[in-house]
Amino acid sequence: MEITKAILHILDREAGHLICSQAVLDLNEYAVKQYLEGVVKQLQKAEFKLGQLSEETLLYQKIKESDVSFEEKTADIAQDLFDSLAISEDAPSGDLLFFEGKDQKGPLFGIVKFNYKPSYTHFVDYQEDIMQNNIILNKTIFPSPTQRIEECLLVDQMTYQTQIVEKKYQFEGQKRFFITERWLKIDPTPTVTENLKIVKKAVKEISNKYNESEFVAFSQAQQAIFESIEEQGSLDNQRIAESVFETNLSAQNDYLDLVKQTRFSEEIPNNVPKYEKKYSKQKFKLTNGIELTIPVDVFKDKEIVEFINHPDGTLSVMIKNVEEVISKF
């Protein structure tokens, strides 16, 4: 991702003011360049919800306008956002970074909200012509450029598909997502993590229903997730069902029906390598305190690792054909 134009507007909720810049940021200025490079890195790591921007929203209309300057366009959007946030009881003040840029798919329009992080610093003051170095609390410090982004919105300017990271705030006594529920009225897909929680819950419920071993079901689900992401770049739910409940067609159908009742989405917006890495190893903690980490590509190879069930209900794990043991001390 590359940012080609950016501007910063100040959203001061405590004072009740929106202070809009009349000039764009100098992207070649050292501090600006360094900070925005950090922002881009965090955006590339972010876990997004996907949605579709409605043509009725002011945001859609302003992005589409070609005869209005970037400065004026973003000021109008900032005002619309500020008005929507105004009645929140607990939303913090912050700065709004608006930018135009591009990624591998094409042109982007983006908004990142930098919520202030109070921090202590020094302050040079004078008391009756005597200089005094004091300690003060600065309430308008930006988050670190290496910190995870809390709120942002990316809009594909070709399709008007949105990628969103957001927080819940209090509105009229109820906690609501600000960007999707309050401002843009978007019904987004869940994040990848939320989708995986749906899968895990459904696997647990159906495996218990059919008296399947829970740890085996989870292990097979994880392997199916890894293979699906690695080979297809998505979460193939049919593949998960068939892998977890291989010989039980009724369990497969029950699992698929259960997931259909949720908002599960197979799509992974970005960061496919992140999830490949996360699910490339099976991790087990045994009741005797032993912990095992097994690469998924050898998990089903009984010549390397075997789980043995005993008549008394206990379980043994046999590790085979080990040429050398290396301490990780």
pTM: 0.75
The tens digit of pLDDT for each residue in 24-75 reads 999 999 999 999 999 999 998 888 989 999 999 999 999 998 889 999 999 9
Q: Which of 16-25, 30-39, 208-217 is predicted with the least confidence, judged by mean pLDDT?
A: 208-217
Q: For residue 134, give every residue at least 6 positions away whose Cβ sits within 8 Å of its Cβ, in sequence order, or none.
A: 122, 123, 124, 125
Closest by CA to 166, choosing from 102, 113, 108, 117, is 113
Q: Which secondary structure element, helix H or strand E, spans residue 50, and what is its range?
A: strand 49-52
Alpha carbons 325 and 317: distance in angstroms, whole number: 17
Neighbouring C-beta atoms of residue 313, cutoff 10 Å: 6
Of all helices (H) and strands (E), which one includes residue 86? none
Residues 6+ apart with CB under 8 A from 119: 137, 138, 141
Tokens of 83: 């008005």
Q: Which of 158-167, 184-193, 242-251, 290-299 has the lowest mean pLDDT?
A: 290-299
Cα distance between residue 164 and residue 180, in whole Å: 8
Q: What is the pLDDT of residue 215?
A: 81
Q: How far apart are CA 131 and CA 127, in angstroms?
A: 6
CA diameter of the chain: 88
pLDDT in tens, 195-207: 889 999 999 999 9
pLDDT in tens, 79-120: 999 999 888 888 888 899 999 999 888 899 999 999 888 788
Per-domain residue ranges for the chain? 2-115+146-183, 192-319
What pLDDT is attached to residue 249?
Answer: 92
Nearest in space to 72 (alpha carbons), one of 80, 62, 81: 62
Beta-carbon contacts of 269 under 8 Å, excluding residues fewer than 6 positions away, are 48, 50, 163, 192
With a pLDDT cut of 90, the percent of the chain lying above it is 43
The larger pLDDT score, comparing residue 45 to residue 301, is at 45
